[in-house]
Structure 1
Amino acid sequence: MMQYHVSGKMMAYITVSNEIPKSHQQHRLAAATYIEFTQGPFGAILLQRVVNGDWTVQLAQFFISRQVRLYPVAQQPLGILHCMLEGRIPCILQGFGDVMLREKEWRFFYVPAGKRNTAMFSKGYYESFQIGLSPAYLSRFAHNGSPLREVLRRLEHTLPEGYEVGPCPLSLQTLDQVEKMRHTQITGPTRNLYYQARINDLMLLYLASLEQMSQQRNKTVARYEKEMKQLADYIADNLEKQLIVPQLAAKMGLHVQIVEKEFKKVHLQTIKSFILEQRMKRARYLLTEGKMPIVEIAYTVGYGDAAYFSNVFKKQSGITPTAYQKAKKDSTDKPLP
C-alpha cells in the first residue's frame, strides 16, 4: 500500500511506532492487522491496515500542525480505490501529473512502484480510505468495456506510467459501506468475509457511479454544442483578458441564461468554474516551467494583482504559487531509501 515519506532533512526528527498513542486511541480501526504511527515536527500520520491475500484496506489519517510536503510511495505496483473522506490534498504524481484529491470524492488509480510522488498538506486534519486489489481480484470488475480495464492492463504489466479513472462524488451508500468497515467488531475468519463483501459492494457502487456519469454526458446533445466548444476554446486562448459571462454571451449574440445553461450541458461545469480551472491549469504550467516571475504569471492568467492571484491559487491548490513551484522542482528528486 501507500507509504508516506518525509524529506531527508526531516528524517532525523521523526519517530515511528506500531502502537497508537493514548492521545489517538479514538481513531483506532478495530479490525486493523497492521498499525504504523509516525510523529514529527509536521504533526502525525496514522496508517491502519486490514490485510488479506487479494486485497488490503488502509485507513490513512493525517494530523498536520504546519504546512508540509509528504512523499507517497508504492512499494509495489498498486491498483487502488481511493476515497477522500476529509480534506483536500493537491498532489503531483510521477508519470501522471497534477491531481487534486477532493473531499467526498473517490477514484481508481494505477500507481507504479518506487515513484516518489508529492502530496502538499496545509495545517488541518485529513482522512482517506484506500482499497488495494490484486490483479486477480481486480479482474472480476475489469471485463472488456469496463473503465477499469486499462488499470488492470497496467497493473499486470507493471507499467511505469500512472493512470486514473474517475473521479466520482461519494454517495451516502458509499459512505455507509465505509463506516460499516471502519466500525465492525467482527473477528476471526468471518471478518475477512465481511470485508470482502463490503469491498465488492463498494466496487459495484463505483462502477455504477462511473456509468451514471457517462450516461449524463451522453444524455443530451446540446443545441449549441459547437458554439459552447468554441467558447471554451476562446476562454483558454484569452485567459489574460477580463472574462465576464454577460460580455461573453453578448459577443456570441445569445442570452446569458442560454449560454450558461448550454455551456454546463456540454462541459459539465459552469463558465465561471471553467475559467478558474483554466487559469489555475495555465498558472501551474508556467510555475512548473519556471521561466516567468510570479507577478508576470499572475498577469498572464488574468489577475492584475499578484497578491490576489496568490490567494486564489492557494485556495484552489492548498499551497502558495512559490511553494508549488518548489514542490514541482523537488518532485524530480530520487525516492528516499
Structure 2
Amino acid sequence: MIIEDYPATIRYVLSTRSESTPRSSRQFPTHMRDMALKDAQVWYTEGDFGYFATQEISRKDWVIGWQHFSMRSPVILHFVTERPMVAVVCIIKGKLSYDLSGHGNFIMPQGKYGFYYIPPHTENSTFLAAGDHEVIYFSFSADFLSSFVSQHANFQELYDAQQNEVKRGYVFPVFKIGVEERRILDAMKLNNLLGPARLIFLQARINDLLISYFSSLEIADGSHLREEDQRERFRDIETFIQENYHLPLKIHFLSRKAGMNQRSFEKGFKAYFGVKAKEYIEHLRVKLATELLKNSDMPITTIAYHVGFAGTNYFSFVFRKLQGCSPREYRQRFSGNFL
C-alpha cells in the first residue's frame, strides 16, 4: 500500500546507441531559454540524436509535465516512474509508439488524449521517429484520484492499481483533443499569472480537462448502450417475424414496432442481419415454402398464402429468384420426399 501520497513523475533515459555521451542539465541551453515555462523544473538531455526535455510544475495532488522531443534520427527512450502513476497523456505533436510493461505495444497518434496507469520500477519504452514531438502529461496523487473514483468504473480500477502498486500497465479509452481541450492546454502553457493565482488557475484548467474527458467517456458509454439497445430491438423483431411470417409484414409497421423511424430501422436492420428487412422476410417465407413443397401435398396457391405472400404470381417470382426454379419445378424435383 502507498504510505506517502504524492503524484509520480516520468524520467527518460536514452536506449538507442549514441555516438557521443548524452549531456544532461537542469536548465535549457542559452539559445533555448525562450522555451522555459515559468516556475517549472527542467530536465534536459541532448546528444547527436537530438534532444529531449521535460518541464514540470508539481503540487501535492498533481504534476503537469510538458515534454519536447526533437530527434535527428529514430530513437528509443526508456522511461521509468518511481511510484505507481495514474496520468492523463495528451499527444500534441507527432506520433509515439509505446511499450508499456504488462500491457504491450500501442500507438498514441497526434491529437489524442487518455488515462494510463504506469507501474513503478518497471522498464517501459517509447519509439520516436525523426522529427519533433510534444506531449503533456498530468499525474495525480491517490488522494486526488479518489475524489473522482465514483465517476466511472474505470477510475476505481485505476485507483486500485495505484494503491496496490500493480505491476501491469493499463490503457483506458482515448479521445480526440478537440477545440475545447486544446484551448485548455494552451491556456495552461501560456498564462502569465504569478504566485498562488497561477496554481489556482492551473488547478481549474486540470478540472476543466477532466470534465471534458468524463463527458467524452459518458458519450462513448451512451453510444455503446444505444448500440446494445438497438441490437436488442432487432433480436425482438427477428423473433416477431419468425412467429408472424404469415402476416402482411410492412416495413413501416416493423419500424414502429421497434420504436424507430423507418430510415433508421432499414439501415440498422441491414447492418445487423446483412440483408434488407424485405429480403430477410422473403428468404424466410421461401425457406418455409420449400419445406411444404417437399413434405406436403398442399396446393401451391395455398402454400403461397400460408407463408405470407399476397398472391401466387409474386410468390413464383421471388421463389424463382432465390431457388432458380418455379415452385412447381421444385416440387417435381423433390416429389419422392413426400409419401
> Which of the five TM-score ranges fits, normalised by the shorter chain?
0.5 to 0.7
Normalised by the length of structure 2, the TM-score is 0.64
Distance 2:91 2:122 in 1: 21
Distance 1:4 1:225 in 2: 51
Letter in 1 for 2:23: T
Paired residues of 1:224 and 1:262 also in contact (CA < 8 A) = no
Query: Match of 1:116?
Result: 123
Query: Match of 1:14?
Result: 22
Query: Match of 1:45?
Result: 52
Matched, 1:23 2:27: no
Q: CA deviation at 1:28?
A: 2.3
Q: CA deviation at 1:218?
A: 2.2
SS of residue matched to 1:109: strand
Paired residues of 2:19 and 2:48 also in contact (CA < 8 A) = no
Seen in structure 2, the aligned counterparts of structure 1 residues 225 and 61 have a Cα distance that, compared at 3 Å, is farther
Paired residues of 2:101 and 2:167 also in contact (CA < 8 A) = no
Distance 2:150 2:231 in 1: 35
Query: Match of 1:70?
Result: 77
Paired residues of 2:90 and 2:135 also in contact (CA < 8 A) = yes
Q: CA deviation at 1:29?
A: 1.9
Seen in structure 2, the aligned counterparts of structure 1 residues 11 and 157 have a Cα distance that, compared at 3 Å, is farther
Between the two proteins, the alignment pairs up a number of residues equal to 233
Distance 2:233 2:123 in 1: 41
SS of residue matched to 2:147: helix
Matched, 1:175 2:182: yes
Distance 2:105 2:114 in 1: 14
Paired residues of 2:18 and 2:49 also in contact (CA < 8 A) = no
Query: What does the per-residue CA deviation read over 1:55-111, in whole Å, with 9 as the maximum and x for residues that have no partner?
Result: 110000000111111112112111111011111111111111111111111111111
Runs of 5+ consecutive residues of structure 2 not aligned to the other structure: 1-8, 235-265, 273-339
Distance 1:130 1:20 in 2: 20
Paired residues of 2:86 and 2:140 also in contact (CA < 8 A) = yes
Paired residues of 1:105 and 1:167 also in contact (CA < 8 A) = yes
Query: What does the per-residue CA deviation read over 1:161-196, in whole Å, with 9 as the maximum and x for residues that have no partner?
Result: 111211111121111111110011111122111111
Q: CA deviation at 1:258?
A: 6.7
Query: What does the per-residue CA deviation read over 1:6-49, in whole Å, with 9 as the maximum and x for residues that have no partner?
Result: 128549610011111233334222341x1111101211011100
Runs of 5+ consecutive residues of structure 1 not aligned to the other structure: 227-256, 264-337
Matched, 1:2 2:10: yes
Paired residues of 1:14 and 1:39 also in contact (CA < 8 A) = yes
Distance 2:42 2:193 in 1: 18
Stretch deviating more after TM superposition (40-49 or 144-153): 144-153
Paired residues of 1:74 and 1:112 also in contact (CA < 8 A) = yes
Map 1:1-337; keep pairs closer than 5 Å.
Answer: 1-7=9-15, 9-10=17-18, 13-32=21-40, 34-143=41-150, 145-221=152-228, 262=271
Seen in structure 2, the aligned counterparts of structure 1 residues 88 and 144 have a Cα distance that, compared at 3 Å, is closer
SS of residue matched to 1:19: coil
Normalised by the length of structure 1, the TM-score is 0.64
Between Structure 1 and Structure 2, whose CA radius of gyration is higher?
2
Percent identity of the aligned residues? Answer: 23
What RMSD in Å do the two structures reach over aligned CA positions?
A: 2.6
